[in-house]
Amino acid sequence: MTDKMNSAAMAKPKKWRDVPMAGVAFGATAEAVETGQWRSIRPLWDSEKCISCLICWNQCPDRAVTTDESGKVTGIDEFYCKGCGICAHLCPKDAIEMKPETDFAAARGDR
Ligand code: SF4
Ligand code: SF4
């Protein structure tokens, strides 16, 4: 492929119809993928403030908010949480605070 063809192929699509078809890799389900590795900010859940309204549980795109058998929120699964911040944004009780992952670097053993 020439440079001219390359730049034409990489041009920004003008409409959504111009976006080329793509696919999803076999087996790449949300259950199998550790989306928590994408996270740059981490939600900290405060059990004292939480009223288990389940807004965060309902809106989390990664099913990362955990509940017990009675439907009460028990925390956030860091394996799946990708740090989008939707839960913190929607929480009516400010029970979730987003913190930079760099705050936890020492605990993870990062240098
Ligand atoms: S949105 Fe806030 S108050 Fe409601 S369940 Fe989630 S953390 Fe608790
Ligand atoms: S930050 Fe996003 S992915 Fe993580 S628990 Fe909240 S809504 Fe779910």
| CB-ligand 1 contact for 73 (6 Å cutoff) | yes
- CATH 3.40.640.10 for domain 31-105, yes or no, is no
For residue 96, give the ligand 2 atom closest to its CA: 6
| CB-ligand 1 contact for 76 (6 Å cutoff) | no
Whether the CB-CB separation of 87 and 56 falls below 8 Å is answered with yes
- Where in the chain are the domains? 31-105
Across the chain, mean pLDDT equals 85
Least confident range from 24-28, 41-45, 70-74, 101-105: namely 24-28
Ligand 2 residue neighbourhood (C-beta within 6 Å): 43, 60-62, 64-65, 76, 81-87
Confidence at residue 5, expressed as pLDDT on a 0 to 100 scale: 53
Confidence at residue 51, expressed as pLDDT on a 0 to 100 scale: 98
SS3 content of the chain, % helix, strand, coil (to 5): 30, 15, 55
Convert the pLDDT of each residue in 15-52 to its tens digit: 888 877 877 666 656 677 788 888 999 999 999 999 99
What are the backbone angles phi and psi of residue 43, rounded to the nearest 5°?
-80, 130
Q: Can you tell me the mean pLDDT for 49-73?
A: 96
